[in-house]
Amino acid sequence: MKLYNTLTRKKEEFLPIKKDEISMYNCGPTVYDFIHVGNARPLVVFDTLRRFFIYKGYDVKFVVNFTDVDDKIIEKANKENTTLKAISERYIDAFMEDAEGLNLYDYETINPRATEFINEMIKFIEGLVDKGAAYNVDGNVYFNIESAKDYGKLSKKNLDELRSGSRIEVNKEKKNPMDFALWKKAKSEEPYWESPWGKGRPGWHIECSVMAKSLLGDTIDIHSGGEDLQFPHHENEIAQSETLADKPFANYWLHNGMITVNNQKMAKSEGNFFTIKDISDEYSLEALRFFLLSAHYRSPINFSRDAMEQTVNGLNRLYNGKNNLEYLINKTRSRELDEEDEKSLEKINKYKEEFIKSMEDDLNTADGIASIFELVKFANTNLNERSNKKVIIHAQNTLTELSNILGILSKTEEILEEEILKLIEERSEARKNKDFQLADEIRDSLQEQGIILEDTQDGVKWKRV
RNA sequence: GGCGGCAUAGCCAAGUGGUAAGGCAGAGGACUGCAAAUCCUUUACCCCCGGUUCAAAUCCGGGUGCCGCCUCCA
């Protein structure tokens, strides 16, 4: 498998540290509000990578943290006159709902909260202080970037340029303007924890370093996140972790491209964002997931109603293909494979191989999706009531297998209520008697309830929309 | 100003040396009582100008346009 590593700016062959286990850390949300589409992209993309690894037989330890202590959360808590915990609990719950809808929790994800690791953070910072890489100024502890070797190696920035291009206000406490806070002294009205430097709370960058170390070890296989986190967040994580451990922090750094709206980055601060909740009012979150996978993860992707409509229509095509196969399974019989059948099986396997190949090429989901469409097209065109059931089953299993890797096509048909079944019966009778007016009335009324009827050669099929 | 990325049909989007995957939308046709679904047919001077090569969307140089990071940000 090849993955594009931001550290080297190259596609590299992926070699895990352990033979059959992979550790992944993805920067998760700061829980001060509902997450938006931009936040969802890395979650969906790297969940898909995780799924692919699992498919290939690896055990995957996948960590997505919650940043539950931060200026913004504190601000919100003060504004609403409630506690930090109340705010973070609220948005963690909301996150879980969104995540469920996006199929992010089909496999176990480790979701640590920053506040559960305060002791580890303090120890981590103490270690840096002992090494002379961090210094305490009146309760604020800063990391001295001069002490990190190769500072800037991820984002390819050099210190001089950073200094001259810096828009940061000069903080007189800092030895170097680019030094960043590991521990922040508590102001009044702020939640705090006791520490060797007095009351305070951790800085942002330290959280991820500590949770990754505590849960996955000093060196992890993959660290991922949005490309806007490359600097300073990921750069600072590297600086802290590698200075303390004297080992590489992550072997592969993966970054996804930004979601745009009218070709401008979707961002909280820009105000041009759509929350997952907004989207789910209008579209299924599965469609959103499919949309996010429809382009290569490193490309920017423009979010629009138009794009979502296209995605929904495409997804429907896949569902129709899936439903047709399901339908055929009950209509066909198994028999010895003949030459034609063998050819079909080969064809189906070819689509699968192509899919896998695409995924192994730096997670090219867009290309992989094309293989799934081709598989569906093949089934639609070549498989029918006279086909060998064995072939139908193979097509269906393959479709399920591949769509499971992407985390789509997971909805299963529900069972219809008695009275609706009766109505469908009634309509069939009416059609038999050429009473098309009644038949159409029933069909229309069912459509209003979200049930679409299709008359096929072998009777009535239905689906929910 | 520094660093990085992108430009492929009406739209979305793969393809990184051998003359353009896939999807959406549109048009025509088949099937159908009508629909739906499905199938068939149909649409590309690969941003521009040079260069390398037998051969370039693909490599190199120069433009133009757009975007991201350098500040909280997925």
Q: Express each pLDDT in A404-440 by its tens digit.
A: 999 999 987 667 788 888 999 999 999 989 999 999 9
**CA–C1' nearest nucleotide, residue A177:** B71
Whose tokens are 């193979």? That residue is A394
Buried b / exposed e over A186-210, threshold 16 CB at 10 Å, is beeebbebebebeebbbbbbbbbbb
> With a 7 Å cutoff on the CB, does A301 touch strand B?
yes
As a whole number of angstroms, the distance between CA A125 and CA A122 comes to 5
pLDDT in tens, chain A (465 residues): 999 999 999 999 999 999 999 999 999 999 999 999 999 999 999 999 999 999 999 999 999 999 999 999 999 999 999 999 999 999 999 999 999 999 999 999 999 999 999 999 999 999 999 999 999 999 999 999 999 988 999 998 877 766 654 555 567 788 888 899 999 999 887 899 999 999 999 999 999 999 999 999 999 999 999 999 999 999 999 999 999 999 999 999 999 999 999 999 999 888 899 999 999 999 999 999 999 999 999 999 999 999 999 999 999 999 999 999 998 998 899 999 999 999 999 999 999 999 999 999 999 999 999 999 999 999 999 999 899 999 999 999 999 999 999 999 998 766 778 888 899 999 999 998 999 999 999 999 998 888 888 888 767 888 877
Nearest to A253 by CA among A233, A223, A212: A223
Buried b / exposed e over A258-294, threshold 16 CB at 10 Å, is bbbbeeebbbeeeebbbbbeebbeebebbbbbbbbbb
pTM: 0.94
Where on strand B do bases come within 7 A of a protein Cβ? 1-6, 11-15, 21-25, 32-40, 66-74
Q: How far is the CA of A367 from the C1' of B21 (A)?
A: 8
Strand B: which residues 163-202 of A lie within 7 A (CB)? 165-168
Q: How far is the CA of A347 from the C1' of B17 (A)?
A: 29
Dihedral angle sign, alpha carbons of residues A72, A74, A79, A80: positive
